[in-house]
């Protein structure tokens, strides 16, 4: 298979994921307050991730395409991460939010992938970024780094929000379920 085909597969998968997340957002419950800085921060991070590899100092991350075996593994990892993310999004239903925010009629979801980790959408997104970085390099390397930092901040922020909203249920759920990596952290 042509190495460029793997790159196009990864980009096509991301486009499909973005379309899915955009369309599925229409059924989400309303946020109780607006958080424009969070939305802008996420957008700036994604734009920066794909502009940074264009700077000569960071050209070393533009290592793709690699061999077909490694690219195949990267595509499988990308799709697996996205599948986990979509499963988590489906499990959340109307409780999903693009930002860290309380929802009207918010419910604590502990089923589906939330049985294994408290933040499976972040887990899936990071795994998809790792697979994409293997295949494409460049912007996905920086996306992994920047989203990783944002997701780590959001894990803490979401845990604090859920602890306030669900003072009876969340502490027990947090004790029995790891944040991002099953059985580890």
Tens of pLDDT, residue by residue, the chain (185 residues): 777 899 899 999 999 999 999 898 887 777 666 666 766 777 787 788 778 877 787 877 777 767 889 999 999 999 999 999 999 999 998 888 877 787 778 899 999 999 999 999 999 999 999 999 999 888 888 888 888 888 898 899 999 999 999 999 999 999 999 999 998 98
Burial zone of 121 (CB within 10 Å; 0-12 exposed, 13-18 middle, 19+ buried): buried
Q: What is the pLDDT of residue 35?
A: 63
Cα 135 from Cα 28, distance rounded (Å): 33
Domains in the chain (CATH in brackets) are 36-95+108-176 (1.20.120.1630)
Class of residue 172 by CB neighbours under 10 A (exposed 0-12, middle 13-18, buried 19+): exposed
Predicted structure pTM score: 0.88
DSSP state of 1: -
């Amino acid at each position: 298979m042509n190495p460029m085909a793997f790159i196009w597969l990864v980009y096509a998968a991301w486009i499909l994921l973005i379309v899915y997340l955009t369309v599925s957002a229409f059924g989400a419950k309303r946020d109780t307050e607006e958080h424009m800085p969070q939305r802008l921060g996420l957008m700036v991070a994604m734009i920066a991730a794909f502009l940074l590899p264009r700077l000569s100092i960071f050209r070393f991350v533009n290592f793709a395409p690699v061999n077909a075996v490694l690219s195949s593994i990267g595509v499988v990892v990308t799709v697996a991460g996205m599948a986990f993310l979509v499963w988590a999004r489906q499990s959340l239903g109307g409780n999903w939010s693009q930002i860290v925010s309380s929802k009207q009629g918010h419910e604590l979801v502990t089923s589906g992938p939330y049985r294994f980790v408290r933040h499976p959408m972040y887990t899936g997104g990071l795994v998809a970024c790792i697979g994409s970085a293997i295949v494409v390099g460049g912007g996905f390397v920086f996306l992994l780094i920047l989203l990783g930092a944002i997701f780590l901040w959001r894990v803490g922020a979401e845990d604090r929000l859920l602890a306030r909203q669900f003072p009876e249920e969340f502490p027990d759920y947090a004790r029995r379920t790891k944040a991002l990596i099953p059985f580890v952290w």
